[in-house]
Every structure is written in C-alpha cells, then in structure tokens.
Structure 1
Amino acid sequence: MSRPKNIQKIKEFDRVIARLFARKGYHSTSIREIARELGMTQSSLYYYYKSKEDMLFRLINSAVDESLATVEKICFSDLPAEEKLKQVLGFYTQYFAGDQDREILLLNEINSLSPEHRAIQIQKERHYVQLFYGILRELTEQRKMKPINHTVATFAFFGMVHYTVKWYHTDGSIGLGELADMFVEIFTKGIFTR
C-alpha cells in the first residue's frame, strides 16, 4: 500500500529537483536548497537519493528511458515507414517540448554526470539516432525520400525539437499537439518525394 505512495512522492521530488536544476543550474543548486524546497532535512533526502549526481542521473535517465521505450515501440511496429516517421516526430516533439525542465538538463547538464553515467546516456543517444536512421533508410529504400544525408536530416529534427526550450511556452497560444503537428508537417514535407 505504501509503495505506490512512495513512487508518487519520488515523482514529485524529481519534478521539484528538475525545476531547481533547470532554473539555477546543477552546480549552483545546493543539497541544502533542495532539502528546504522539499520540506525535509538533508539526511532525509539521502534516504531517497545516493548523491546530488544521482539525482541528476535519475532525472535524465528516466526521461530518456521513458521516451526511448515509446520510440522503439513505434519503430519496431508493422506501420508503414511514413507513419512510423510521423509518429516518432510527433511523440518526440510533445515529450521533450512538454517537459522543458528535463530537456534543459539533458541539453545543458549531461557533462555534469560522472563519466560512467555520461557513457550510459551517450549510448542511449546513439540508439535514438540508429532508430531514426532505420526509418530514413526504409524510406530511402522505398524511394519515398529525397537524397538527403541521413545524419543531416536526423540532427536537423533533433535540433528543431531541442531548441524549443529557448522559445516555446507550454501555456502559450500553441498547444503541444499543435506544435507536434507543425513540426511533422515542416519536417516531412521537406523530405518526402511527391
């Protein structure tokens, strides 16, 4: 009975910690400040987290794992390549533009991780790229994609989504679904053959 409550409590802790790290920066946020923001003592905080770096790793890793699971499910489905691409683009946009605190951590704080933790994330990033390449390769083989370098296409999309932290506001006039639709439209109409 207490287990679901603990999971919910940790998710709330993670949300608060992600916000602090994203706003102030990982190195500028102290354990004392985190504990104060969560309304607990520093020693109580260590019941949930091994270290400050453990907090950062868990925030980044859980976001990447969760999104990667969905992207893999889409990529390994029986959907046509065009539909896979649209679904991956739409999901990825909504997921990362919708959780800007973790997106900021992923972009700005990955080098604050220990070498071991950083290596884990780099491996997962490479897996993302391979999945995306797989879809583009399918489209190329089916002659449904213009002769555009897959690396350029892949990183153009990732850059488009990740840059939303600079200008996109989830409470603004464009909703996440609408933003995802726009990005899918912009990206696919530029690579699909007529």
Structure 2
Amino acid sequence: MKLSEKKIQKKKEDIILSAVKIVNEKGYQKATMEEIAAELLMTKGSLYYYFKNKEDLIFQCHEMVLVQAIEELQQHINVKQSNEEKLREMIKTHIQYAIEKKEMFNMIIKPDQTFSEDQLNPILLKRNEYAGLFDQVILAGIKTAEFTIDEPKIARMILLGSMNWIQQWYNPFGSKTIEELQQIYADYMLKVLK
C-alpha cells in the first residue's frame, strides 16, 4: 500500500471512530455529518471525499464494530482454557459492546431498520459469523461435558437475547459497574448451560 493510500485509510478510520462516538452520544437519527466533521475539525464537504453519504459512513462504522467484536471473540476462543472460561470472556465482551457502543450495537440487532438492501446482506453475514462463534464454544463445551444442554442454538439465542436486553435498562449511574454486570451475566448465563 502506497503512503497516500495509507493516509487515506487512516483518515477514514479517524472519521469512522468519530462517527461511532457521535452516533453513540446522539443516536443514529440525530447524528449529522456536520457534527462528525466538527469532531475532526473538518468541513462537512470533505467527509464526502471519503464516504458517499451518512448511510455509507454509518454502514462502515457498523462493519468496523462488528469486525472488532468478532476479532475479540476469536481471541478468547484461541486462548488455551476451558470452554466455560472462553464463553465467560465472550459474554463479558458482548456486555461491554452492548453498553459502550449501544447505538452501533442496536444496529447489529435490528439491521433491517437502518441499512439498505445492498448493505443488509454483508451485515447479516457478519452477524451470523458473530453468533456462530458462540455456537462453536457451546458445542465444544457440550463435547467436553462442560455444558449439558440439548438445544445449543436455542441456548445461544437465549444467551444473546438476554445480553442484548441490557441496553433497555442499563443505567451508567446505577448501583452496578459494567465489570460487576459482566460478572453477574456470565455467572447466570453459564448456569443456564450446565
């Protein structure tokens, strides 16, 4: 990759990170290209050099968050430890993303409400890849008798569904820290699988 291409790629990443921040603060509908540009001390027009429109920028933000989440889960899977411990770390990671990147994560949960038909297919493929990592560890845990469930896919849907619901009630000023909630969720979810 040429130096100029690296600079363009770096600038796109900076824009995406700013967009993630603005969307997480304001929500998808209220986030504007002007605010994203202002965050980077750029003009709105200069954003269009890198992205076709707000939808394209948000799509790439979403893709970046999903890719990062998949990479983090994959790192937990690759660590030499029990399937129970792998799943515990995966649950903690999911909770962290669900809380800290709420707006982006909401788009993962309901992509058909945000993205065009052309954008939807790659998003659904990535989302299925993400869910498949949970399936992989749950199935491995069944084989090693760490988990004793009969319906691994349903167990995964219960697991992800309950973790996704945290966005509906989580209060950053509540009595539990993110770390405490991660631990509580992991403890309860792992009990379900035993």
Shorter-chain-normalised TM-score: which range?
A: 0.7 to 0.9
Given the two structures, how large is their TM-score scaled by the length of structure 1?
Answer: 0.81
Shift of 1:10: 4.7
Q: Deviations over 1:76-116 (max 9, x none)?
A: 33221111111111111112222212122323444432323
Shift of 1:54: 0.7
Shift of 1:8: 4.2
Shift of 1:41: 4.5
1:136 matched residue in structure 2: 138
Q: Deviations over 1:13-37 (max 9, x none)?
A: 4311443443xx3xxx58xx43156
What is the rounded CA distance, in whole Å, between the counterparts of 2:189 and 2:172 in structure 1? 21
What is the rounded CA distance, in whole Å, between the counterparts of 2:189 and 2:123 in structure 1? 26
Task: Judge which range, 128-137 or 102-111, deviates more.
Answer: 102-111
Listed as ranges, the gaps of 5+ residues in structure 2 are: 1-5
Shift of 1:74: 1.4
Contact 1:21 1:105 in 2 (8 A): no
Shift of 1:164: 1.4
Contact 2:99 2:167 in 1 (8 A): yes
1:34 matched residue in structure 2: 33
Task: Judge which range, 97-106 or 87-96, deviates more.
Answer: 97-106
Shift of 1:132: 1.1
Say yes or no: does 1:74 pair with 2:70.
no
One-letter amino acid matched to 2:34: A
One-letter amino acid matched to 1:51: N
1:15 matched residue in structure 2: 21
Shift of 1:130: 1.8
One-letter amino acid matched to 2:21: R
What is the rounded CA distance, in whole Å, between the counterparts of 1:111 and 1:138 in structure 2? 34
Say yes or no: does 1:107 pair with 2:109.
yes
1:184 matched residue in structure 2: 186
For the structure 1 residues 37 and 114, does the alpha-carbon distance in structure 2 shift closer, same or farther, using more than 3 Å as the test? closer
Listed as ranges, the gaps of 5+ residues in structure 1 are: none
What is the rounded CA distance, in whole Å, between the counterparts of 2:171 and 2:145 in structure 1? 37
Shift of 1:158: 1.0
- What is the aligned residue count? 185
Where 1:172 maps in the other structure, the secondary structure is coil
What is the rounded CA distance, in whole Å, between the counterparts of 1:147 and 1:37 in structure 2? 46
One-letter amino acid matched to 2:81: L
Percentage of matched positions with identical amino acids: 18
Given the two structures, how large is their TM-score scaled by the length of structure 2?
Answer: 0.81
What is the rounded CA distance, in whole Å, between the counterparts of 2:16 and 2:130 in structure 1? 27
Task: Judge which range, 77-86 or 42-51, deviates more.
Answer: 42-51
Shift of 1:138: 1.4
